[in-house]
């Protein structure tokens, strides 16, 4: 041993402390900068909760009312902050209750670390009380998962968990820790993970691919950008804006890409996909170069692949090599982090404007405005629309609120009509379409960004899927604004029944409870609006409230969301009615 290694060993010895696995878990979380985590206690995780009690001044554990709520709250926290969200649960039912949130985080690339307690290692496989194979169950819906049976493994495994969750294309990681490992004492020392040899977080960007992409774009007559969440996850908002402006390219977004470029930006041409805007959907099949950035050509975006952008050369920027050619053939693939690859692209782009081409989008927007938007946001006939509620929220928020939407018609309306000035402001369950997401996700978002206005837009159906989280809002004094757009229907399903099942409304109509009384039962200020005249004032009162506020708006029962690409149809067959 040379003197250097001797010194190092001494140093290490001095840095270690003898603590339990449970305490180590908390110390690991704190070393990773975790200030808030969401969870629910139970037998197999009690040693960790005991340590949470000890460290309660340094790390804030939020008791949700259901583990699904904990997972979604951690997602909301992660989505608004870009940090890793943390959820904790006990073994068995506690762990399985996390699964929906984990699956949601997997498909929407949200960085989560979930820690579950497990029965003592000696009981594994014995069908012990509250034993469930959560590693097996969560395997297909996690980026990585691992079971820890010895305290000494905790620091390295948790360090790896945070690294994997956050790096590259983010995703959820589940770490299952047996109870004996939580009790066991060992010499603790924490070192952050700097790499995993079998995992390349960010693929190298081939400069030749960037040059080829730039050449194609420079020669394009009708280029169109569709960006996704890859811009937000890569924090490439400024680079996207610079590319769009320099090359004068009309740019559309997927549902998870929303807010990366302000709504008011003149080259922001709206949302693509099933209920996206008319122009970008239609003109996907007219552009000559389609530039996809950090998006994965989900079927809700592309409609029928056989008729999707067949005329266009496709350039695909992505951090995940497995996305290239998965659904749509890429003529040029640019791998890498969007922030870096777009910066490289920018340098090679010519300044350009595509006025006539941009005008085509404006013309189609005018048609959509006339046939759909006008009636949605400034209706003249009786019956409140979801769109006018969103318009009123925009007026009060001035486009600065974070909008957390649930799943259904109200979600599509929220994404279509919300105005966004600030990135990371559209928090919704895109890939999984998880009803029940919004209420807990809004809690996480508000706690991660207390300075921001957080408005949850929820349907009367989805609201009742995690309504118990009103208890968390009350206990945490989380000043979340909750808007329930009550159409007394599982509206989105009813819309499909109307359009494709001859109006056979099988199990979609709901007899709803007194929502205001329920909110008030949790000591949350609440108001119900049934008439147009009351709407503006109610929204204003809600937005001005310093505390959480519940607003129920009774909207027309059988309103429909348009435009719409019927499933299996082509993007250019987008319907306006």
Partner 1 sequence: MKEEIKTLTISIYTENNIGLLNRISAIFQRRTINIESLTTSQSEIENVNRFVIVVNITESQAKKIVGQIEKQIEVIRAYYHTDEETIYTESCMFKIKSKLLFEEPQIQNLIKDSNTRIVTVNKEFFVLEKSGRRNEIESLRRDLNAFGIMQFVRSGRIAVTKDEMKVTEMLAAFNNK
Look up 130 and say whether it is catalytic.
yes
| Binding track over 4-43 against ligand TPP, x by CB under 6 A | ----------------------------------------
Q: Which of 354, 480, 370 is nearest to 427 (CA)?
A: 480
Q: Per DSSP, what are the bridge partners of residue 482?
A: 456, 550
Tokens of 186: 């060992």
- Which one of the spans 7-15, 45-53, 335-343, 490-498 is the region binding ligand TPP (CB under 6 A)? 490-498
**Least separation in angstroms between CB 505 and Mg ion:** 12
434 binds, among Mg ion, partner 1, ligand TPP, none (CB under 5 to 8 A by kind): ligand TPP
Tokens of 15: 């840095």
**Least separation in angstroms between CB 430 and partner 1:** 20
φ, ψ at 477 (rounded to 5°): 50, 45
Say whether residue 156 binds partner 1 (CB under 8 A): no
Say whether residue 139 binds partner 1 (CB under 8 A): yes
| Binding track over 174-213 against partner 1, x by CB under 8 A | ---------------------xxxxx--------------
Tokens of 73: 């709250």
Q: Per DSSP, what are the bridge partners of residue 490?
A: none
Show the DSSP H helices in 384-527 as ranges: 386-397, 409-417, 438-448, 460-463, 470-476, 491-500, 515-521
Q: How many of the chain's residues bind partner 1 (CB under 8 A)?
A: 21
180 binds, among Mg ion, partner 1, ligand TPP, none (CB under 5 to 8 A by kind): none
Q: Apex CA 18: angle with CA 16 and CA 22, to 5°? A: 110
Instruction: Report 293-332 residues binding partner 1 (CB under 8 A).
Output: 320-322, 324-326
Contact by Cβ (8 Å): 133, 144? no
The Cβ-side half-sphere exposure at 53, using a 13 Å CA radius, reads 7
Cis bond upstream, residue 109 (ω within 30): no
Residue with tokens 């067959």: 573
Strand 185-188 versus strand 17-20 pairing type: antiparallel
Instruction: Select 147 or 409, whichever has its Cβ closest to partner 1.
Output: 147
Look up 497 and say whether it is catalytic.
no
| Binding track over 443-472 against ligand TPP, x by CB under 6 A | ----------------xxxx----------
The DSSP 8-state label assigned to residue 205 in this structure reads: P
**Least separation in angstroms between CB 135 and partner 1:** 6
Instruction: Select 39 or 462, whichever has its Cβ closest to Mg ion.
Output: 462
Q: Residues 467, 469, 474, 477: is their CA dihedral positive or negative?
A: negative
Instruction: Select 337 or 409, whichever has its Cβ closest to ligand TPP.
Output: 409
The Cβ-side half-sphere exposure at 181, using a 13 Å CA radius, reads 25
* Closest chain position to Mg ion (CB): 459
144 binds, among ligand TPP, Mg ion, partner 1, none (CB under 5 to 8 A by kind): partner 1
Instruction: Select 94 or 491, whichever has its Cβ closest to Mg ion.
Output: 491
Cβ contacts of 462 within 8 Å, gap of 6 or more:
406, 407, 408, 435, 436, 437, 438
435 binds, among Mg ion, partner 1, ligand TPP, none (CB under 5 to 8 A by kind): ligand TPP
Residues that bind Mg ion (CB under 5 A): 459-461, 487, 489, 491
Q: Is 359 helix (H, G, I), strand (E, B) or coil?
A: helix
Say whether residue 493 binds ligand TPP (CB under 6 A): yes
Q: Is 373 helix (H, G, I), strand (E, B) or coil?
A: helix
Instruction: Report 394-433 residues binding ligand TPP (CB under 6 A).
Output: 406-410, 433
Q: Which of 46, 55, 83, 130 is catalytic?
A: 130
Look up 525 and say whether it is catalytic.
no
Q: Which of 67, 131, 388, 396 is catalytic?
A: 67
Tokens of 241: 């804006």
Contact by Cβ (8 Å): 375, 283? no
Show the DSSP H helices in 139-206 as ranges: 154-166, 179-183
**Least separation in angstroms between CB 139 and partner 1:** 5
**Least separation in angstroms between CB 503 and partner 1:** 35
Instruction: Select 234 or 491, whichever has its Cβ closest to Mg ion.
Output: 491
Tokens of 342: 């777009």
Q: Which of 88, 412, 492, 564 is catalytic?
A: 492
Instruction: Select 63 or 493, whichever has its Cβ closest to ligand TPP.
Output: 493
Say whether residue 140 binds partner 1 (CB under 8 A): yes
In DSSP notation, 446-487 reads HHH-TTS-EEEEEEHHHHTTSGGGHHHHHHHT---EEEEEE-
Look up 67 and say whether it is catalytic.
yes
Tokens of 225: 């950008």
Contact set with ligand TPP (CB under 6 A): 406-410, 433-436, 459-462, 485, 487, 489-493
Contact set with partner 1 (CB under 8 A): 135-136, 139-140, 143-147, 164, 195-199, 320-322, 324-326
Hey, which residues are catalytic here?
67, 129-130, 179, 492
């Amino acid at each position: 041993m040379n003197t250097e290694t001797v010194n190092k060993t001494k140093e290490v010895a001095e840095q270690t402390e003898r603590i339990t696995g449970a305490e180590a878990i908390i110390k690991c979380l704190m070393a990773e900068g975790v200030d808030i985590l969401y969870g629910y206690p139970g037998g197999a995780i009690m040693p960790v909760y005991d340590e949470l009690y000890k460290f309660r001044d340094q790390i804030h554990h939020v008791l949700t009312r259901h583990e699904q709520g904990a997972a979604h709250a951690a997602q909301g926290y992660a989505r608004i902050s870009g940090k890793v969200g943390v959820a904790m649960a006990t073994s068995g039912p506690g762990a399985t209750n996390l699964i929906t949130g984990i699956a949601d985080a997997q498909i929407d690339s949200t960085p989560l670390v979930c820690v579950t307690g497990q029965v003592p290692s000696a009981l594994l496989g014995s069908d012990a009380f509250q034993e469930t194979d959560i590693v097996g169950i969560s395997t297909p819906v996690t980026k990585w998962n691992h079971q820890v049976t010895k305290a000494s493994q905790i620091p390295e495994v948790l360090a790896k968990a945070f690294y994997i969750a956050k790096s590259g294309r983010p995703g959820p990681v589940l770490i299952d820790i047996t109870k004996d490992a939580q009790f066991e004492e060992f010499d603790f020392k924490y070192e952050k993970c700097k790499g995993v040899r079998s995992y390349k977080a960010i693929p190298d960007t081939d400069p030749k691919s960037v040059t080829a992409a730039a050449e194609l774009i420079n020669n394009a007559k009708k280029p169109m950008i569709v960006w996704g969440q890859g811009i937000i996850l890569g924090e490439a908002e400024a680079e996207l804006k610079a590319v769009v402006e320099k090359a004068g390219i009309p740019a559309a977004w997927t549902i998870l890409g929303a807010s990366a470029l302000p709504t008011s930006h003149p080259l922001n041409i709206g949302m693509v996909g099933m209920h996206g805007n008319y122009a970008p959907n239609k003109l996907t099949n007219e552009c000559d170069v389609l530039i996809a950035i950090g998006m994965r050509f989900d079927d809700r975006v592309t409609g029928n692949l056989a008729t999707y952008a067949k005329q266009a050369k496709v350039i695909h920027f992505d951090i995940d090599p497995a996305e290239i050619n998965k659904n749509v053939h890429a003529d040029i693939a640019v791998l890498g982090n969007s922030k870096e690859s777009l910066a490289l692209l920018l340098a090679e782009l010519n300044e350009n404007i595509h006025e006539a081409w941009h005008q085509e989008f404006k013309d189609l927007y005018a048609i959509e405005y006339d046939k759909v938007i006008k009636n949605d946001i400034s209706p003249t006939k009786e019956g409140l629309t979801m769109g006018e509620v969103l318009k009123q929220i925009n007026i009060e928020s001035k486009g600065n609120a974070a909008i957390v939407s649930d799943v259904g018609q109200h979600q599509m309306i929220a994404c279509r009509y919300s105005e966004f000035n600030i990135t990371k402001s559209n928090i919704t369950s895109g890939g999984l379409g998880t009803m029940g997401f919004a209420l807990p996700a809004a809690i996480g978002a508000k706690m991660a960004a207390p300075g921001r206005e957080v408005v949850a837009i929820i349907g009367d159906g989805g609201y009742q899927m995690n309504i118990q989280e009103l208890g968390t809002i009350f206990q945490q004094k989380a000043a979340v604004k909750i808007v329930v757009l009550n159409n007394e229907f599982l509206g989105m399903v009813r819309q499909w029944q109307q359009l494709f099942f001859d109006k056979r409304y099988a199990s979609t109509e709901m007899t709803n409870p007194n929502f205001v009384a329920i909110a008030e039962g949790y000591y949350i200020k609440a108001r119900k609006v049934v008439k147009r005249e009351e709407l503006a004032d109610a929204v204003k009162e809600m937005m001005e409230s310093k505390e959480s506020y519940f607003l129920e708006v009774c909207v027309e029962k059988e309103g429909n969301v348009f435009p719409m690409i019927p499933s299996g149809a082509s993007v250019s067959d987008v319907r306006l009615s």
